[in-house]
Chains A and B, each alone.
Chain A
Amino acid sequence: MEHVNEPALLAIVVATALAFDFTNGFHDTGNAMATSIATRALKPRQAVLLSASLNMVGAFLSLTVAATIATGIVDSGIVTLEVVLAGLAGGIVWNLATWLFGIPSSSSHALVGGVVGAALAAAGTEGVLWTGLISKVLLPALIAPMVAILVATVATAVVARLTRDVPQDTNDRVFRWGQIGSASLVSLAHGTNDAQKSMGIILLALIAAGAVDPDASVPFWVIVSCALAMALGTYTGGWRVIRTLGKGLVELESRQGMAAETSSAAVILLSSHFGYSLSTTHVATGSILGSGVGMKGASVRWNVAGRMFSAWLITVPAAAAVGAAFYGIDKLVGGDAGSYVVFLLLVAAAFVFWALSRREPVDHRNVNHDWESGEEIVAESVEAHDPTLLAPAGDRAEAGR
């Protein structure tokens, strides 16, 4: 083993990558488990425990890890540890922001966005491979939900038709098992896929700092810590996101949940098999929407779905802005101190998001409460107004004088 460059910076990057892995886990619990929780096939705690275990198993299952970050999307020649750090920080902040609003959003897109922003700040527009960004990230964000909606709609319609004269309680009882099974597959695939991204980033950082040889395989502690971070995040349960996915889009029953999760598992696995990776989040959300479209008499809250689609469109630019800002701060302060400041800012930001979330906590106790029409939409329409105009008339008159 040779001399390790910048051990402090390396430690910060590794810690931040694990933090990202954690947010990835807790943001994406809902992709697999929201439907099982909403239909009460599993109790909320059981569901997150199952999902966390399967994520953990998934992380150990396949160990072909690529030591890369955003390949084909940013110029690999400019990816320094500072760029990686700022990119991770941008991804984490976006994950926390969308979690606060209960919006499922793709963790991998948030990470790519953060890295793109950092690359832009580091090397200007030359640093980003725009064709790759459009074809690998931006367009798939539109395509994935459409494919999933289509598949899940057909699946739900066929299932509903075949079981229309089976007693409802029998359907609920039997399909519950199909639902748990299919959701488990989604969790497993997620663990394999997403934990490896963090392993790849850490491996890349270790190689860059000279801590391991370029052709080394992933050190065991990296595998264990990534698997643990993701499982812990999953178990913490992004209840806000779970609630939106399970209750906000469609009122689900077991047959729909089973059809939706099977569609998700099929589309996710097939898309990576055919080399056209689609985001788990986009696919899972699309599948749940499709299970509402395909079910007679079910209503889909397209306004909630619309908010998600807009969040997906701004995921990359928003995370990029944060990533660029973090990179700027890093360089402004300069040296190792810059990276410390970035890390401290990130911790502070995480704390602020957590504190904000406590104002209206969502956890395993109220995750399944009835969705009130206009929930969270009210806040949005109030924001669009001038608060001084909404103040009581007396105050306004006084203020006007």
Chain B
Amino acid sequence: MSTYVEWGALAKILIFGLLVGAGLPALFALGVRALEGPGSRDADGNRPAVRVVLAAACFTVIVAAVVGAIVYIAAGGH
């Protein structure tokens, strides 16, 4: 079968696919949870700074990944 299926490439696609394809949505969800999840507002209706920083970090990583993907497409990698 190994002549027909490139197992090495397939394994890499699967591993990195899970890391990126599931990791980015997870980060996005984490950011949403930090901003809007339970306990995201204190008694006065303000968000604790640590939650805002966490959300900002999540969304920054996502934006960086998207920019990276566009550069990658433009560079002819696709």
- Interface residues in chain A, defined as those with a beta carbon under 8 Å from any beta carbon in chain B: 58, 61-64, 131, 134-135, 139, 143, 147, 150-152, 154-156, 158-159, 162-163, 165-167, 170-171, 174-175, 178, 181, 185, 188-189, 192-193, 255, 258-259, 262-267, 269-276, 278
Contact = CB atoms under 8 A, between A and B. Distances in A.
Contacts of A274: 9, 12-13
Contacts of A163: 29, 32-33, 37
Given A139-B5, A154-B18, A270 B12 contact: yes
Contact of B66 (A64, A152, A185, A275): A185
Contacts of B43: none
Given A193-B78, A258-B25, A61 B32 contact: no
Interface residues of B, number: 36
A73 to B, nearest CB: 13
Given A171-B32, A270-B13, 8 more contacts: A62-B78, A139-B5, A162-B29, A163-B33, A188-B73, A267-B21, A269-B69, A269-B73
B55 to A, nearest CB: 11
Contacts of B24: 262, 266
A154 B23 CA distance: 9
Interface of B: 3-6, 9-10, 12-14, 16-18, 20-22, 24-26, 28-30, 32-33, 36-38, 66, 69-70, 72-78
A189 B73 contact: yes
A154 B25 CA distance: 10
B36 A174 contact: yes
10 contacts: A62-B74, A139-B5, A147-B10, A158-B26, A166-B33, A188-B73, A255-B29, A269-B77, A269-B78, A270-B13
A152 B22 CA distance: 7
Q: Which 7 A-B pairs have the closest CB atoms?
A: A266-B21, A162-B29, A276-B9, A155-B22, A263-B21, A151-B21, A266-B20
